[in-house]
Amino acid sequence: MAFLYRWWVQASEQERTRMKDLVKKGQLHFVNAGWCMSDEASMYYEDFIDQMTVGLRWLKETFNYVPSVAWHIDPFGHHSSSASLFSQMGFNSFFFARIDYQDKEKRMNEKSLEMVWRPYQYDS
């Protein structure tokens, strides 16, 4: 979102209107919406929540858009807290690209690359 925001600040009104129309018509979707990608494997909760809040708030205020898909493009490990926090933020799916080659091979052989990750949810 930080890079999109930088473009947005410099964009003309015509470009902004065009982008808003694409979002409104469902021709442009956003995933994750964090201000930046956090370190998923060893994240610091406050930073994770803060950067997600900034990005999600900007999307909502700018486009009246709330994403439903979380994504980490290149994580170096996974933490169940990420899945749990994404779930609590309202995301209904979470995609990631990097997986241990042995785990991937096993999942490919078992046809189980897709999975439902049910992280532990703490009661508040």
Catalytic residue flag (residue 39): no
Name, in order, each residue with C-beta under 8 angstroms of 12's C-beta and a sequence gap of 6 or more. Answer: none
Name, in order, each residue with C-beta under 8 angstroms of 62's C-beta and a sequence gap of 6 or more. Answer: 8, 20
* 21, 39, 50, 74: the active-site residue: 74
Alpha carbons 29 and 49: distance in angstroms, whole number: 21
Active site residues: 74
